[in-house]
A and B are shown apart, each in its own frame.
Chain A
Amino acid sequence: GAGVSQTPSNKVTEKGKYVELRCDPISGHTALYWYRQSLGQGPEFLIYFQGTGAADDSGLPNDRFFAVRPEGSVSTLKIQRTERGDSAVYLCASSKGDMRTDTQYFGPGTRLTVL
């Protein structure tokens, strides 16, 4: 079946601009996660949705970052007033949301470059 998809695959923007990154999870997966991966590092957690609500947004670095999942499926990560330090690969993952045996499946990521 179809995996997690993310669009765009690459995004180049200028410092100060607003960007939106989209994630389409595996059908039927209730949990959705956003991570950020910088060069030479492992992915770092940003935010987690269970259904439509953000169950944990403790990883968002500051209030320039915001994410929504209005219908419990597709999610959009929004970054305002982008800074050069926001350049990274933004990964989305989804899972069935089982409490004890949850397995997350990752999308291909969006590579964000802030000039």
Chain B
Amino acid sequence: AQSVSQHNHHVILSEAASLELGCNYSYGGTVNLFWYVQYPGQHLQLLLKYFSGDPLVKGIKGFEAEFIKSKFSFNLRKPSVQWSDTAEYFCAVNARSGSARQLTFGSGTQLTVLP
């Protein structure tokens, strides 16, 4: 079975600070990796995704994530956060093959950016 760990439950930063949110997964096969974001009062939105190829992927709003296979990690980064980045961030994985297509999510990281 797959599992996803997000180590930081709540992160508080000042504007312009750099961000790194940790995500580690447990799965014996090849995975697809995702970061979703939920802004206050809004639904889950896709931030970025990794399927194969270049392990450094860029998403919307200046976010990027790096897949490190040897560490089973897919950390999310942003060089300079803005107040509007305040949201909850979820890391998710699913298997690249087989019949199980569902996403397995981490428990989320609440990011608060202070103006």
Contact = CB atoms under 8 A, between A and B. Distances in A.
Contacts, number: 60
Interface stretch (B11-19, B58-66, B77-85, B102-110): B102-110
B107 A42 contact: yes
Interface in A1-60: 31, 33, 35, 40-45, 48, 55-56, 59
B46 interface: yes
Contacts of A42: 4, 90, 92, 105-108
Contacts of B43: 91, 106-109
Contacts of A104: 103
A104 B33 CA distance: 12
What range describes how many residues of A lie at the interface? 20 to 34
B86 interface: no
B101 A31 contact: yes
Nearest to B44: A106
A1 to B, nearest CB: 15
Contacts of B90: 42-43
A102 B105 contact: no
Interface string B1-35: 00010000000000000000000000000001010
B59 to A, nearest CB: 12
A57 B92 CA distance: 19
A90 to B, nearest CB: 12
Interface in A84-115: 91, 93, 99-109
A55 B107 contact: no
B32 A59 contact: no
Contact of B108 (A31, A41, A56, A105): A41
Contacts of B101: 31, 33, 48, 55-56, 102
Contacts of B96: 100
Ranked nearest first, the 3 interchain pairs of A and B with the lowest CB-CB distance are A42-B105, A45-B102, A106-B44
Interface of A: 31, 33, 35, 40-45, 48, 55-56, 59, 91, 93, 99-109
Given A41-B108, A55-B101, A102-B94, 9 more contacts: A31-B101, A35-B103, A44-B105, A45-B103, A48-B101, A100-B97, A102-B32, A106-B43, A106-B44
